Amino acid sequence: MEPVPELERTARRAELRRALRTSQDRSGAAPALIDVSKANAALSVRQRRINRLREEEARITQQIASMVSEMRRIERWLEFCLEDAIDRTRNQHSEAWSPSPIMGYRLWWVEDGELCGVKMPWNKRTLAASCLRHGDLGEIPHSDGSCGRLGCGVYAAKTIDPLYRDFNVWSLEDFAIGLVALTGKVVEHDDGYRAAEATVVALGARLEGRVLLTNIPDMLDDVFADPSMIRMGNPVESRQQSLIEIEMYVAEEARRAEQWI
């Protein structure tokens, strides 16, 4: 049985009251009038209670809305406090989580058909760091000294100069110098960085007397997949000339990247 709407119930009671008055007018007797009075009184009492409860409900609803608004403000404050605590902790270890990539320089040499870094070959232009000592436990690169003196991460120099100093670039025949975008967790050192991930954004490479300069993503992918693609570059007269062209190109790409970041 479907519930009767409130308006219909009200109309029904009004109709019954009119019928009662008509009956009283005709007969002058109403033996059940006391019961009607009790029912009316009971209805009035409950209606007043409902009205008070609805007023209380409105106050409670308003209080809940106010409390929710306060909680949102406290949550934002808590997020700020957490971020500030994280930043303070990371600053103690020279760490950074930058919304923009941090640019750095890397060196590779061509060996056995691959572009090789210090620890491993790069078959793609993007390399994610791993920790040989602790695996992927915690945030990489680790900065608590547990990885040893050097620590894990993808390394990059702040300028090109450390590459010449540490790797004797002048003596290399087939090599590449690239500008890399460091993302994720980045730990800063005196001359460079180590990061969770690095992506090559520009490359100057020499192979068998030819130099290829490119910042085209598809071309970079092809070169790291097959370094023989470097032979598509222009011929150069000397090793010194190739170094000058590569350094000037990569440095200019770094300046362009800094303008965009």
- Along the 261 residues of the chain, how does pLDDT read in single tens digits? 455 567 777 787 777 777 777 776 666 655 656 677 777 788 888 888 888 888 888 889 988 988 888 788 788 777 767 776 666 665 555 555 556 789 999 999 999 999 999 889 999 999 998 887 766 656 778 777 667 667 889 999 999 999 988 888 888 889 999 999 999 889 888 889 999 999 999 999 999 999 999 999 999 999 999 999 999 999 998 888 899 999 999 999 998 887 665
pLDDT for the residue 154 = 93
- Whether 212 and 230 have beta carbons less than 8 Å apart is answered as yes
43: nearest Cα among 13, 65, 20, 23 = 13
In total, the chain counts a number of residues equal to 261
* Residues forming beta bridges with residue 195, ordered by sequence position: 154, 186
Dist. CA 230–CA 236, nearest whole Å: 13
Read off the amino acid at residue 23: S
**Amino acid 66: pLDDT:** 82
Question: What is the rounded CA–CA span in Å between residue 61 and residue 217?
Answer: 57
Identify the pLDDT of residue 43.
81
Give the single-character DSSP code of 133: T
According to DSSP, the residues that pair with 122 across neighbouring strands are: 115
Residue 204: per-residue pLDDT: 97
CA distance 105 to 204: 11
Rg (CA), the chain: 39
The pLDDT assigned to 1 comes to 43
Q: HSE-up of 22 (CA within 13 Å, CB side)? A: 6
User: Which among 249, 236, 254, 227 has a CA at the least distance from the CA of 117?
Assistant: 227
Cα–Cα distance measured from residue 240 to residue 206, given in angstroms and rounded to the nearest whole number = 11
Cβ atoms of 154 and 182 within 8 Å: the answer is yes
Residue in the block written with tokens 């609805």 = 54
Task: Say if CB 188 and CB 112 are below 8 A apart.
Answer: no
